[in-house]
Chain A
Amino acid sequence: MRLEPVANPSAARRLGLPALALVATLGVAMGLALLAGANPLAVLGQIATGALGSKLAILETLNRATPLIFTGLAVAVAFRAKLWNIGAEAQLYAGAILAVVLGTGVLGSPWVLPVSALAAMLAGAALLLGPVLLKTRLGVDEVVTTLLLNFIMLLFVSYLLEGPMKDPMGMGWPKSPALIPEARLPRIVEGLRLHWGFALAIIAAVVVWVIQTRTTLGFEIRAVGQNPEAARFAGMPVNAVLVKTALLSGGLAALAGWSEVAGLKGHLSSDLSPGFGYTGIIVAMLALLHPLGVIVTAIFVAGIFVGSDAMSRAAGVPTYIADMLMATALLFMVLAILLTRVRVVRG
């Protein structure tokens, strides 16, 4: 077999194939439910109700979507330039650390929130800068270095929480002291359990979208991603563009950790992120790297996770079904997107 480009893909092809990928994922979900001895349709229903069935469920889904929007944006921005930032998990924790460092009494109102957000972004950006400079200067593959940094960062967080950042009132639990009230993100609507981090995530998506579509940097990022050689030939400072992309990407990922600490948890613990950095890759790919699409896919992915938790308690299907479905959706989707542009021919 070989692949042949499709000259002008029809609308049916461009929309039908991604839709088919989602349907196929649903099929896998039903298969897994059967395997677990549950009623497939009931399982799908319970996931949907668990995610969206009540005001409480919807708020939980939106809360869960907040860090995923940030990490999804971080990945989307980087992947657009073919910068393979798999280190959003580490950058997230960098942001979370800064939220604690600056939010436990060093700074007061009104400076603590803006300053700690900015510092968090700088920390996340700095963390990605290393791998990117290694890539541009020495040609070291950033996939491996950013992955390895995730492990180093988690151990560093563990060290902080058992050492210099340990909460003396924590009853031996490795967690940081609580943030002061001024350092906490308020709720968007009083009485509703949804914090300003969600609104900031939406704003961040819009800002990234404006950068990508309305600025020179956005144009350069796309050009470098499509063809670095051509971009270099056209006189574009390719390495400088990659560094700027990295700063943006690392900063966005750090905001995920910052908003989880300042908005949701109020302290840092080593289970702050159940892999938000990695799930961000799925969020970004499902959104076809579109910043506004990231909002939609992050809420979708968050819904699957929240819904699966609820379903698992009721139907007894292991909650890991959510992770399996996300990985399946990712693989189906990249294949579907390819097939919108090419067709398989014999020979």
Chain B
Amino acid sequence: MSAVIDILISASFWAAVIRIASPLILATMGELICERAGVLNLGIEGIMVIGAFTGWMAVYQGLPLWGGVAVAMAAGMMFGLLHSTLTVPFGLSQHVVGLGVTLLATSSASFAYRLMLPEVTSPPKIAPFQPLNVPGLSDLPWLGDALSQTALTWAAFAVAGLVAWVLYRTPLGLAVRAVGEKPAAVEAQGLSVTGLRMGAVIVGSGLMAVGGAFLTLSAFSSFFFEMVNGRGWICIALVVFGAWKPGKAVLGAILFAAFDALQIRLQQTPLGAALPYQLFLALPFILSVLALILMSRRAEVPAALMVPYNKGER
């Protein structure tokens, strides 16, 4: 027990929590925007892969790190355009299209990787984002270490704040939320349901891709085929866990990251060594299922989630 407490009060643990939470926050915000507008985006897993790949490849080809982030975002938005074209004006099954987008994005990344690097056995490394030195903050004893984070992590939290502000404090956010609740009312106001929903999915997909790019540009400095490894599906659970609200979703991501950081450290304790390591690796997925069950009774789902809208149809 004291081992756990030692872990929980160490600054390096909290630094890891914030680091692990960052890509989850970015991708969860992306999914949240889509779902608030009424579109479930199951392309998230593949869009994170394409973001991780394109961001890394752009930097490997000589672009600056922020250029890589921009390329990843653009690639994600392209897949968002594909997803939303099929699901919004055509109203196709969001389940089938989402899975199709995930399969297409994942295989595109693998195909392009092999095409561009046919001979390599281990993927080349890039120089990733380094922790920012924030004057005043970085010198603080415990906090300085815990908040020794890269610019992309700071950006992730800023994005979450921005998403919350736009959704709740601007006319655009009101329209996006309304289109996920009662699209006919939005149409009656003279706004375009199709435009709002497609825009939300495209922007959301861009954020998911930046979440993926975090893995290659800030966390691991290389691209591996299996690196996203279900994080996208976990983000979908986090949106539910956060009751479709940005603030709660961020807290969910941090809680989740805390469990993840804790399990890595527990594996190294005598107790952890006695248990199979696969149990620890399965913990995030088991937690996600539990989170879904826990939140299931609360009906805060956007009313028009997964309901296509066809003008003139009642």
Q: Which residues of A contact B (CB under 8 A)?
A: 1-3, 32, 35-36, 84, 86, 134, 138-141, 143-145, 147-149, 151-152, 155-156, 158-159, 162-163, 278, 281-282, 285, 316, 318-321, 323-324, 326-328, 330-331, 334-335, 338
Contacts and interface: CB of A to CB of B under 8 A. Distances in A.
Contact of B282 (A2, A156, A324): A156
Given A3-B91, A143-B95, A151-B282, A335 B86 contact: yes
Contact of A320 (B97, B107, B292): B107
A326 B293 CA distance: 34
27 contacts: A2-B310, A3-B89, A32-B111, A134-B292, A134-B296, A138-B297, A141-B240, A144-B236, A144-B288, A144-B292, A145-B292, A147-B230, A148-B233, A148-B288, A151-B229, A151-B282, A152-B289, A155-B285, A159-B278, A159-B279, A323-B110, A324-B104, A327-B100, A327-B107, A330-B103, A331-B86, A338-B91
B195 to A, nearest CB: 12
Contact of B42 (A143, A319, A324): A143
Contacts of B95: 84, 143
Contacts of B230: 147-148, 151
Interface in B89-117: 89-93, 95-97, 99-101, 103-104, 106-108, 110-111, 114-115
A144 B235 CA distance: 10
Given A151-B282, A330-B96, A144 B296 contact: no
A327 B115 contact: no
Given A318-B110, A330-B96, 12 more contacts: A3-B89, A3-B90, A148-B237, A155-B285, A156-B282, A162-B278, A281-B96, A281-B99, A321-B111, A323-B111, A324-B108, A331-B104
Given A36-B115, A151-B230, A155-B282, A2 B104 contact: no
Contacts of B278: 155-156, 158-159, 162
Contact of A323 (B93, B99, B103): B103
B281 interface: yes
A159 B86 contact: no
Contacts of B237: 144, 148
A334 B278 CA distance: 38
Nearest to B42: A143
B310 A334 contact: no
Given A156-B282, A159-B278, A334 B86 contact: yes
Interface residues of B, number: 48
Contacts of A282: 103
B97 A144 contact: no
A333 to B, nearest CB: 9
A320 B236 CA distance: 27
A318 B106 CA distance: 14
A138 B282 CA distance: 23
A86 B99 contact: yes
B276 interface: yes
Interface in B268-314: 276, 278-279, 281-282, 285-286, 288-289, 292-293, 296-297, 310-312
Contacts of A84: 95
B36 to A, nearest CB: 16
